[in-house]
């Protein structure tokens, strides 16, 4: 970096744009040419003053204000398509009497030109430590797994319990809420419910022989959900 002096005796230097928010605004020269749009100019009346501004700016950028906040990052996504009648009953499509398509984005807005591969519900959550680095008015955020001061090996507190679930990601844009033990336990229970529901459905349907047994034992109005489905042992003994 070079320090120069203009025709008016003003000392100046050109710095990278990313450091701009760490500089005292009174020393920033705004007449930067378009070709230097990724840079900016700082100036002062003396060499010593400019040198002081630059050093202070670099120091502020190198030592940002850092804050740490426990949060929960989560996703809850539905991919289904259905209609509803005037009484709020779910219908397979809008051909049912009085039914209209539910276009709510909560369910994925799926239709004939936006198909989903079967119907699904995705749930995932993690307890995270949100680390914010502030450089003047600019900030950078990163996340690390949060265990309330304990290790990842335990399951003695709600954060550890929630983070004990694995085999999934939160994608690129999870939602965020403040961390609380109650929230961590809520999402832990939600994950447990998803796992139990998936296990029970797959136990009954993954193997085609078992699937045919369940179908044979089903009754009108039968819904294949936890608590509403015959146990496989009972199905086997009755067939």
Every domain of the chain and the residues it spans:
3-63, 70-191, 207-238
pLDDT digits (tens, 9 = 90+) for 77-114: 999 999 999 999 999 999 999 999 988 889 988 888 88
The yes-or-no verdict on residue 224 having pLDDT over 80 is no
Q: Which residues pair with 111 in a beta bridge?
A: 114
The yes-or-no verdict on residue 231 having pLDDT over 50 is no
The yes-or-no verdict on residue 234 having pLDDT over 60 is no
Whether 116 contacts 80, CB under 8 Å: yes
For residue 225, the model assigns a pLDDT of: 60
For residue 131, the model assigns a pLDDT of: 97
Rounded to whole angstroms, the Cα distance separating 77 from 80 reads 10
DSSP, residue by residue, 161-220 = HHHT--S----S--EEEE--HHHHHHHHHHHHHHHHHHHHHHHHHSSHHHHHHHHHH--T
pLDDT tier for residue 206 given thresholds of 50, 70 and 90:
very high
For residue 184, the model assigns a pLDDT of: 98
Average pLDDT over all residues of the chain: 85
Rounded to whole angstroms, the Cα distance separating 42 from 58 reads 12
Expressed in percent and rounded to 5, the helix, strand and coil fractions of the chain are 35, 30, 40
pTM: 0.70
Angle, helices 208-217/181-205, rounded to nearest 10 degrees: 90
Helix (H, G, I), strand (E, B) or coil at 15: strand
The yes-or-no verdict on residue 167 having pLDDT over 90 is yes
Q: Which residues of 75-110 are buried (b: 16+ CB within 10 A; e: fewer)?
A: beebbebbbbeeeeeebeeeeeeebeebeeeebbeb
pLDDT tier for residue 228 given thresholds of 50, 70 and 90:
very low
pLDDT digits (tens, 9 = 90+) for 58-74: 888 888 889 999 999 99
**193 vs 14, higher pLDDT:** 193
Percent of residues, the chain, with pLDDT higher than 70: 86
C-alpha distances out from residue 71 to 27, 127, 179, Å: 38, 6, 4
CB-based contacts of 22: which residues, under 8 Å, 6+ apart?
57, 58, 60, 61, 135, 136
């Amino acid at each position: 970096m070079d320090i120069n002096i203009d025709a008016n005796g003003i000392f100046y230097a050109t710095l990278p744009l990313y450091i701009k928010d760490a500089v005292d605004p009174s020393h920033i020269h705004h007449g930067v040419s378009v070709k230097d749009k990724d840079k900016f100019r700082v100036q002062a009346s003396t060499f010593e003053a400019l040198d002081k501004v630059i050093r202070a700016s670099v120091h502020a950028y190198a030592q940002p204000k850092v804050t740490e906040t426990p949060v929960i990052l989560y996703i809850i996504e539905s991919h289904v398509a259905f209609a509803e009648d005037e009484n709020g009953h779910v219908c397979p499509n809008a051909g049912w009497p009085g039914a209209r398509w539910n276009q709510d984005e909560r369910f994925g807005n799926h239709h004939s030109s936006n198909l989903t591969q079967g119907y699904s519900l995705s749930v995932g959550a993690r307890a995270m430590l949100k680390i914010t680095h502030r450089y003047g008015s600019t900030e950078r955020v990163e996340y690390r797994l949060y265990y309330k001061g304990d290790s990842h090996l335990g399951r003695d507190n709600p954060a550890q319990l929630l983070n004990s679930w694995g085999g999934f990601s939160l994608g690129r844009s999870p939602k965020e809420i403040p961390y609380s033990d109650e929230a961590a336990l809520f999402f832990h229970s939600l994950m447990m419910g998803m796992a139990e529901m998936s296990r029970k459905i797959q136990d009954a349907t993954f193997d085609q022989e078992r699937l045919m047994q369940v179908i044979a034992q089903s009754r009108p109005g039968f819904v294949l959900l936890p608590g509403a489905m015959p146990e496989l042992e009972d199905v086997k003994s009755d067939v």
